[in-house]
Amino acid sequence: MTSTRIEWTEATWNPTVGCTKVTAGCKNCYAETMARRLQAMGVKGYGNGFDFTVLPNRFQQPLAVKKPTKFFVNSMSDLFHEKMLFENIDKIFETIKATPQHYYQILTKREKKLKRYFEKRAVPANVWLGVTVENESVKNRIDVLKTIDATIRFLSIEPLLEDMGELDLSGIHWVIVGGESGPNARPMNSYWPQNIQRQCKEQNAAFFFKQWGTWGEDGKKRSKHANGSLLSGREWKEEPNIVKQVGAINYV
Ligand code: SF4
C-alpha cells in the first residue's frame, strides 16, 4: 500500500497488478508505463511487468491500518480482469468488510464481470463502485453500474476523449473528469468537460475536475502542472455527500 498523488483518494491498495487493454481509454495506460519501470527497478510484485498478477500476500494489507483511510483499489490493475477468480475477489471483499473504518473506491472497465460478480453478492456499505467511461461507445457501462446497489456509484471520465453528449446521471453520485497526460496524450476540447459539468449540476451529481493534462484549455501543449485544473475560471473538486447517501451510517 502506498500514499498517492491521485487527488481524489488517499492511498492505493493493489492486491493485483498488471492488466490487459480493453478500450480506447487504455491506449496510453499509466499503469503499464509504471509497471515496466517498477519491473526494471526490481520492485517487489512487478516481476511480471504488466502481465496480470495476483498478489495474495497483499489481500489483507488494510487490516493493519487503523486510521480511517480512503483506498483506491487497484490503481495498477483492474479487480475484475478476465483472469481474476471470483474466489480471490471474495477474499479481497472479506478484508473490505472487516475494515469498516475505511472506504474503498473500486473502478473498472469490465462492467460485465462486475455485474456477474454482484448478481449474487451485496456491495459492502464502505465501497464506492465506479466505471470508467472515456467515450460515447462505452456509455453502456453507466447503465450496468446503475443496476448494482452501492452506497456511492461513480464515473471516471478520464481520459475524456470526445464530447459525451447527453448523460443520464440518475443514480450516479460522483463524476470525475480529466484530460490525458504523457507525451502521447490526446487533446481535450474545453466544451467536453463543460458539457459534463453542466449535466452534473442539473442532475445533482458531484463534479470533480482533475486536470487538463498535457493539452491546456487553450489547446496548447505544456506540462500537466502548468495546465492546471481550472475549468470555466474555477476549480471543481466536489465529492459525494456520504452522510446524505448512507443515511444512518455516518462515515464522515
Ligand atoms: S483497464 Fe486500466 S489498468 Fe487496465 S489497461 Fe486499461 S487503463 Fe490500464
Give the per-residue pLDDT at 6. Answer: 77
Quick check: 140 pLDDT over 70? yes
Work out the mean pLDDT of the chain and round it to a whole number: 94
Q: Is the pLDDT of residue 252 over 50?
A: no
- pLDDT for res 7: 76
Q: What is the whole-number distance in angstroms between the Cα of residue 76 and the centre of ligand 1?
A: 8
pLDDT, tens only, 5-14: 677 788 999 9
Nearest CA owner, ligand 1 atom 3: 77
Contact present, 178 and 211 (Cβ < 8 Å): yes
- Go through the domains of the chain in sequence order and give each one's CATH number: 2-246 (3.20.20)
Q: Which residue has the CA at smallest separation from atom 7 of ligand 1?
A: 26
- Tell me the CA–centroid distance for residue 108 and ligand 1, in Å: 8
pLDDT tens-digit readout, 104-131: 999 999 999 999 999 999 999 999 999 9
Q: Tell me the percentage of the chain whose pLDDT exceeds 70.
A: 94
- What is the best residue among 12, 21, 46 to mutate for testing ligand 1's pocket, by most ligand atoms within 8 Å of CB? 21
Give 250 Cα–ligand 1 centroid separation in angstroms.
33
Stretch 137-144: mean pLDDT: 98
Q: Which atom of ligand 1 is nearest to the CA of 109?
A: 1
DSSP 20-79: ---SGGGTT-HHHHHHHHHHHTT-TT-TTTTS-EE-GGGTTGGGG--S--EEEETTTB-T
Nearest to 131 by CA among 121, 122, 143, 119: 143
| C-alpha 21 – ligand 1 centre gap (Å) | 6
Average the pLDDT over 160-188 and give the result. 97
Q: Indicate whether this model's pTM tops 0.85.
A: yes
Q: Is the confidence at residue 249, as pLDDT, over 50?
A: no
Task: State the Cα torsion 41-45-47-51 to the nearest 10°.
Answer: -120
Mean pLDDT of 46-68: 97
Taking the CA of residue 20 as reference, the ligand 1 atom at the shortest distance is 5
Ligand 1 atom closest to residue 74's alpha carbon, by position in its atom list: 3
Best residue for ligand 1 mutational test, from 6, 17, 32, 108 (most atoms within 8 Å of Cβ): 32
Give the Å distance between the CA of 77 and the centre of ligand 1.
6
* 4's grid cell: 498517492
* Residue 156 CA, ligand 1 centroid: distance in Å: 12
Mean local confidence (pLDDT), 72-88: 97
